[in-house]
């Protein structure tokens, strides 16, 4: 019997560049922080992942509520949303035992993720489904009778492909959303299974809260899915998700060396070194955010800029007015010494 056709996508220069950058950053983060060996950091990142993935699906529990719930404390909230959190945590904890190319494991994961929430948890859908925005259907999934065969072909491809895991994870994520094999829970399953695929390549991905970045770009996430449906391939989705992974890694690189408690001395990320060099000339925060490829000012301050200020490598030009619109930043002599 002939092998099924592979999912359609094109390897672009942007994809190749992102894969190379992410692979390099993964090695650097592992060397700096040893994050995969730190239980407290693992748990914190996992909670962030679960909170963000469920928030995308309209779960209203706050990060503090999710943290309290998973610490065994009572939380006031909708019973369904509490169950969603408990199920997701159980699924992420069991995740390392699953084979990403196994239909049985995929169904078991869905059964655990949706246990007590839908009557057909752990089963492929048996009816037609569509995705609506307002009153408009934006995606009509393949007929239910085709789902088992489509998923069998997709999992066969995943097992046999020689595509880099970073690319294979993105392709699988898109194809699962396109097929929409379950009556409910397809979004969280796509994100969970991509994490599984990536974590088998590098264990750090099991605890990298990529879902938090996807949540911050939720509108773009759905828009690029729709655009790929129209294009008939997942190329744009691969580029989008690789960019998301890169951002998540940049955030981890900026924060984890300190959070890990490996050293009280900051190990600057690539973007922080670029900022130190730029700030030899007094520079406003907007320009520094562009260097770090960030759009969220609060996250940039906390994860990129504040560590440089705390280390004494960057200083404010108006230290008595930290929130002034005229505020700029300059590299100190100590900062110049570590960025030569």
Residue numbers in the known binding site for ATP are: 184-191, 221-222
Tokens of 281: 């000339």
Q: Is 164 a catalytic residue?
A: no
Q: Is 60 exposed, middle or buried (0-12, 13-18, 19+ CB in 10 A)?
A: exposed
Report d(CA 211, CA 30) in Å as an integer.
20
Minimal CA–CA distance to 221: which of 184, 260, 247? 247
DSSP 29-98: HHHHH-GGG-HHHHHHHHHHHHHHHHHHTT----HHHHHHHHTT----S-HHHHHHHHHHHHHHHHGGG-
Q: What are phi and psi of 25, to 5 degrees?
A: -70, -35
Neighbouring-strand partners of residue 122: none
Residue 29: count other Cβ atoms within 10 Å of its Cβ: 23
Residue entry with tokens 């409910």: 184
Report d(CA 286, CA 290) in Å as an integer.
6
Residue 115: count other Cβ atoms within 10 Å of its Cβ: 15
Report d(CA 201, CA 196) in Å as an integer.
9
Neighbouring-strand partners of residue 136: 133
DSSP, collapsed to helix, strand or coil, labels residue 221 as helix
Tokens of 250: 């940049």
Q: Is 111 exposed, middle or buried (0-12, 13-18, 19+ CB in 10 A)?
A: middle
Instruction: Check 51, 110, 173, 180 and give the catalytic one.
Output: 180
Residues known to be catalytic:
180
């Amino acid at each position: 019997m002939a092998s099924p056709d592979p999912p359609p996508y094109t390897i672009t220069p942007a994809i190749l560049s992102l894969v190379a950058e992410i692979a390099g950053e993964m090695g650097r983060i592992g060397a700096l922080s040893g994050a995969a060996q730190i239980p407290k950091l693992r748990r914190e990142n996992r909670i962030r992942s679960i909170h963000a993935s469920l928030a995308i699906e309209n779960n209203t529990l706050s990060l503090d509520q999710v943290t309290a719930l998973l610490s065994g404390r009572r939380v006031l909230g909708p019973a369904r949303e509490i169950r969603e959190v408990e199920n997701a945590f159980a699924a992420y904890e069991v995740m390392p035992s699953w084979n990403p190319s196994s239909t049985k494991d995929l169904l078991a994961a869905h059964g655990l993720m949706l246990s007590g929430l839908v009557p057909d948890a752990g089963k492929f859908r048996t009816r037609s489904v569509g995705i609506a925005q307002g009153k408009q259907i934006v995606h009509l999934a393949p007929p239910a009778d085709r789902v088992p065969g489509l998923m069998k072909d997709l999992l066969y491809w995943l097992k046999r492909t020689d595509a880099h895991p970073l690319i294979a994870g993105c392709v699988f994520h898109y194809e699962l959303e396109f097929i929409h094999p379950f009556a409910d829970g397809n979004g969280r399953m796509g994100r969970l299974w991509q994490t599984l695929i990536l974590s088998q390549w590098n264990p750090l991905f099991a605890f990298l809260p990529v879902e938090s970045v996807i949540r911050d770009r939720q509108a773009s996430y759905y828009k690029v899915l729709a655009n790929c449906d129209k294009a008939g391939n997942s190329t744009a989705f691969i580029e989008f998700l690789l960019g998301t992974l890169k951002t998540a890694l940049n955030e981890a690189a900026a924060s984890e060396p300190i959070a890990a408690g490996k050293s009280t001395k900051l190990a600057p990320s690539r973007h922080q070194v670029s900022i130190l060099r730029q700030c030899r000339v007094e520079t406003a925060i907007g320009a520094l955010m562009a260097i770090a490829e960030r759009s969220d000012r609060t996250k940039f301050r906390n994860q990129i800029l504040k560590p440089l200020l705390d280390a004494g490598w960057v200083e404010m030009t108006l230290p008595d007015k930290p929130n002034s619109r005229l505020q700029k930043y300059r590299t100190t002599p100590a900062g110049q010494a570590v960025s030569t």
